[in-house]
Amino acid sequence: MLRTPAEPFANDSGIRVLDGDLGRSVVKVSALKVEHRVVEAPARVFERQEDFLAAFRDGELEDDMVVIVRFQGPKANGMPELHRLTPALSVLQDRGHKVALVTDGRMSGASGKVPAAVHCTPEAAEGGPLARLRDGDMIRFDTVTDTLEVIGVDLSAREPVALLLDSGDGTGRELFQLFRQTVGGAEAGASVFTA
């Protein structure tokens, strides 16, 4: 729907940048209901979207949570599309749970009614804050103050979890090792070319 400047859909941007001790990320707020703009809940940490989906199918996710899907950034595996997370997160939200997603990966417009902080940088594969999170850490995801923080934990005191690639030589991954070593962060365009 198109609106004139005199009657905007919203008085502020539909995209926000969150900043805090979990890094910087981008979130689309235009489709979020007011009651979903702030989520404070324990982290549930996953390394792959398939792991989250398996936990959902197995009925392991019946609480409020901030789902962390890390090692999805450009250095880890090239930022695959994570849109398969949205339907399961929507179901959890429809069941009355407070849910949000934080990832160093990407979602191309498939988010919407579930708050999703994407392109989190520095990414986990570079030892970023997401690599230091553990299940149960309390997260505050706040699109009102534009902050993304862990509560009551000094992340700098923890060692980051190491990236473990799930396949080795012979599957084509070795061809992209040079790109993983040289690619820049999502915030800088995930490019192998320097300015």
> Which pTM value belongs to this model?
0.85
Tokens encoding 27: 């979130």
Residues 6+ apart with CB under 8 A from 105: 69, 72, 73, 79, 80, 82, 118, 119
Between CA 50 and CA 80 the distance in angstroms is 12
Is it the case that residue 188 has pLDDT exceeding 70?
no
- Residue 64 has phi, psi (to 5 degrees) of -65, 145
Tell me what pLDDT residue 15 has: 85
Mean pLDDT, to the nearest integer, of 174-192?
57
Tokens encoding 50: 């398939």
Q: Which CATH architecture has domain 15-152+167-184?
A: 3-Layer(bba) Sandwich (3.50)
Which residue did the predictor score with more confidence, 81 or 95? 95
pLDDT band at 4 (very low <50, low <70, confident <90, very high): confident
Question: Which of 26-30, 59-63, 156-160 is the least confident region?
Answer: 26-30
Is it the case that residue 190 has pLDDT exceeding 70?
no
Tell me what pLDDT residue 176 has: 57
Residues 6+ apart with CB under 8 A from 67: 43, 44, 46, 52, 85, 89, 99, 100, 101, 102
Between CA 134 and CA 46 the distance in angstroms is 10
Cβ proximity of 32 and 99 under 8 Å: no
pLDDT band at 189 (very low <50, low <70, confident <90, very high): low
pLDDT tens per residue across span 29-47: 888 899 999 999 999 999 9
Between CA 129 and CA 191 the distance in angstroms is 21
| Mean confidence (pLDDT) of the chain | 85
Is it the case that residue 195 has pLDDT exceeding 80?
no
Mean pLDDT, to the nearest integer, of 170-191?
56
Cβ proximity of 147 and 20 under 8 Å: yes
pLDDT tens per residue across span 95-111: 999 999 999 998 876 55
Which residue did the predictor score with more confidence, 153 or 73? 153
Tell me what pLDDT residue 107 has: 85
Closest CA to 133 of 103, 105, 92: 103
Mean pLDDT, to the nearest integer, of 163-184?
56
Between CA 30 and CA 178 the distance in angstroms is 38
Question: Which of 11-15, 18-22, 66-70, 158-162 is the least confident region?
Answer: 11-15
Domain residues of the chain, as ranges?
15-152+167-184
Residue type (1 letter), 48:
R
Tokens encoding 75: 């250095």
The DSSP annotation for 88-147 comes to HHHHHHHTT--EEEEESSB-SS---SS-EEEEEES-GGGT-GGGG--TT-EEEEETTTTE
Residue carrying the six token digits 């409020």: 64
Between CA 176 and CA 161 the distance in angstroms is 22
Can you name the residues that pair with 38 across neighbouring β-strands? 142
